[in-house]
Amino acid sequence: MVPLYKFHRAVKYASLLAGLLAWPGLVWGAAALPVWVTIEPQAYFLNAVGGDAVQVRVLVRPGHCVELYAPSPRDMAELSRAKAYFRMAVPVESVITKRLEAREAKLRFFGPEFLWDTHRHDHAHCEICGSATKDPHTWLDPLQMIDYVDVIKSGLSDLLPGRAAYFEANATRLKTQLADLHTSLETRFLNYSGRAFYINHPSLRHFAERYGLEQRSIEHAGSAPAAKRIASLIKEARAARVGAVLAQPEFGRSSAAVMAKALGVPVLEVNILGRDYFENMRGLAEAVERSFAND
């Protein structure tokens, strides 16, 4: 006969194990799925939807220019052993896709491909992008990111069907947060419709178009502006009583500093590549609104 104290101990451990196995999001003995993304803001979304089921690696490291980033041999070697890559439709991804296909890597891609087209836009700033590409900074529009959350949810559910309900719940929560963010930004910029802001690099077109604003880039066709262009922009900005000039730090701030000094206003750096997406967007909105605040 089993001693009574040993019986109680066995029941206690069995109950503890059952509780752990029932804990939301825990898969006993399962390792997190390694997935790759291109930029830090994507990692925020993959972690928000995937939770404990994923381990996220980021290709473009902090401080590097996304448009000019070239994957290293080490990047390609690690990617060739990976299982999944979530794209954001930025140029470097087309390079990765071609190289990995040549290696016959079994990496699965999810999300939009980078597409070339013949539509004109103001984002001709580097050799990789060229003068006839779509603006890749779609993550700066919360409504487009609601659709991207569904891409993540579907991709992860395909890879880990047993966690589909978990991914669905996380995605629903994140989409609600994005909808709330959009509503707050829409309200914030309602009275600024048609106003122009000035920035060193044309990365905010999606944001500007969503909220009825106009982006004016100091940089022109990927080159530092000529003195004549800066003089023209200064004249425009002075007439508009601009309160600040914006700068994306990955592209330096010298041209923005020249313009800001002439206007007697500060340069405000905007971080669009930080890991915390909602913090990035709040900071961006504050900087853009401050650039209108010299009335």
Packing angle of the helix pair 254-263, 227-239 (nearest 10 deg): 50
Task: Among 164, 185, 206, identify where a domain stops.
Answer: 185
Q: Dihedral sign, CA of 212, 216, 217, 220?
A: positive
Task: Among 122, 154, 185, identify where a domain stops.
Answer: 185
Q: Are residues 142 and 207 in the same domain?
A: no
Look at residue 250 in the predicted model and tell me its pLDDT: 81
Q: Are residues 178 and 211 in the same domain?
A: no
> Which phi and psi (to 5°) does residue 24 adopt?
-55, 130
Distance of CA 11 to the CA centre of its chain: 49
Distance CA 252, CA 247 (A): 7
Distance CA 82, CA 99 (A): 14
Is 72 inside a domain boundary?
yes
- Within the chain, residue ranges assigned H as helices are 4-22, 40-50, 73-80, 92-103, 142-159, 164-188, 205-210, 227-239, 254-263, 277-290
> Which phi and psi (to 5°) does residue 212 adopt?
70, 30
Distance CA 283, CA 87 (A): 25
Distances (CA, A) of 275 to 22, 73, 93: 31, 24, 19
Short-list 292, 290, 226, 291, CA closest to 258: 226
58, 40 in Cβ contact below 8 A?
yes
Give 228's contacts (C-beta < 8 A, 6+ positions apart): none
Q: Are residues 156 and 108 in the same domain?
A: yes
Pair of tokens at residue 272: 């669009």
Look at residue 124 in the predicted model and tell me its pLDDT: 38
Look at residue 223 in the predicted model and tell me its pLDDT: 65
- Domain boundaries, position 65: 33-185
Q: Are residues 130 and 222 in the same domain?
A: no
Distances (CA, A) of 109 to 61, 94, 183, 258, 271: 20, 11, 32, 43, 27
Is 7 inside a domain boundary?
no
String of b and e for 23-37 (b: at least 16 CB within 10 Å)? eeeeeeeeeebebbb
Q: Are residues 68 and 143 in the same domain?
A: yes
Task: Answer yes or no: pTM beyond 0.85.
Answer: no
The single residue listed with the structure tokens 């980033």 is: 69
Look at residue 58 in the predicted model and tell me its pLDDT: 94
Q: Dihedral sign, CA of 224, 226, 227, 230?
A: negative
Look at residue 67 in the predicted model and tell me its pLDDT: 75
The number of residues in the chain equals 295
Helix (H) or strand (E) holding 36: strand 33-37
Q: One digit per residue, pLDDT tens: the chain, 295 residues?
A: 545 444 445 545 444 444 444 333 344 336 899 999 999 999 999 999 999 999 999 998 877 778 778 888 888 888 888 889 999 988 888 888 888 877 767 889 999 876 544 333 333 344 333 333 468 899 999 999 999 999 999 999 999 999 999 999 999 999 999 999 999 999 999 999 999 999 998 999 999 999 999 999 998 666 677 788 889 999 999 999 999 999 998 887 788 999 999 999 999 999 999 999 999 999 999 999 999 987 6
Task: Among 185, 202, 225, identify where a domain stops.
Answer: 185
Q: One-letter amino acid identity for 186?
A: E
Q: Are residues 138 and 234 in the same domain?
A: no
Is 19 inside a domain boundary?
no
Give 139's contacts (C-beta < 8 A, 6+ positions apart): 39, 41, 42, 88, 145, 148, 272, 277
The single residue listed with the structure tokens 């609104």 is: 289
Q: What is the CATH number of the domain that holds 81?
A: 3.40.50.1980
Is 22 inside a domain boundary?
no
Pair of tokens at residue 242: 């601009």
